[in-house]
Chains A and B, each alone.
Chain A
């Protein structure tokens, strides 16, 4: 019983990963790729970093967005990173 409770708690609590909104258009994947990344600590210390779609598109020289993918990573709740990858033309 205890083991079942333990496993149940873990299963519920471990769903702590985060999926941020992902946009897609009907355009095919563009030849340009832009990326913006923000890394924070303890879930709150991000020091005004910018991982926006706008910045990713700017970095890739993209004016017409095809796809947007956002990848989040969490290492022991100490280091959190968010990476936005935009493709387009």
Chain B
């Protein structure tokens, strides 16, 4: 009898735990992936690629970059990249940055500083840059990204790790391939 009671409690607990794995998602957000969100725009779709992480080479810190773009099937479609740099320095401006993936290299010279703030013992610096959709497609064509920042004769490099590479490939298959 005691065993039966225990078994019942166990079964209920297992069911409860299993059903607790579901997520709640408001109806205005479509997608279902942890990597991106899509927003219905009427004639086009807006995509938001959630931040991809790039650890810094040599020093402590990391860079997280997200992408927002609309796809209406035109070459003139623009994309906005926003990225946060977590490091030991306050960065108020960047001269330029490049993203290379082995197949292509894209250089961005107009970089807008959004804000800088302290986060624990480090500083979070956020920047924004604009590009076009064909360049985004070219970047996501291959994993193994290296992002290099240039500021006042300083150079910092961030590379994608294994998890980020997997995410880039998944985004290519699920989002970029259908644009």
Contacts and interface: CB of A to CB of B under 8 A. Distances in A.
Contact of B16 (A16, A19, A87): A16
B46 interface: yes
Given A35-B66, A58-B115, A85-B37, A19 B48 contact: no
A14 interface: yes
Nearest to B48: A33
Interface of B: 8, 11-12, 15-17, 19-26, 28-29, 37, 39-41, 46, 48, 50-51, 66, 68, 70, 80, 82, 84, 114-115, 126, 128
Contacts of B41: 28-29
Contacts of B82: 59-61
Contacts of B39: 29, 33, 67, 87
A31 B29 contact: no
A72 B24 contact: yes
A32 B39 CA distance: 11
A33 B24 contact: no
Interface string A61-89: 10000010111111111000000010100
Interface residues of A, number: 34
Interface of A: 2, 6, 9-10, 13-14, 16-19, 22, 24, 28-29, 31-33, 35, 58-61, 67, 69-77, 85, 87
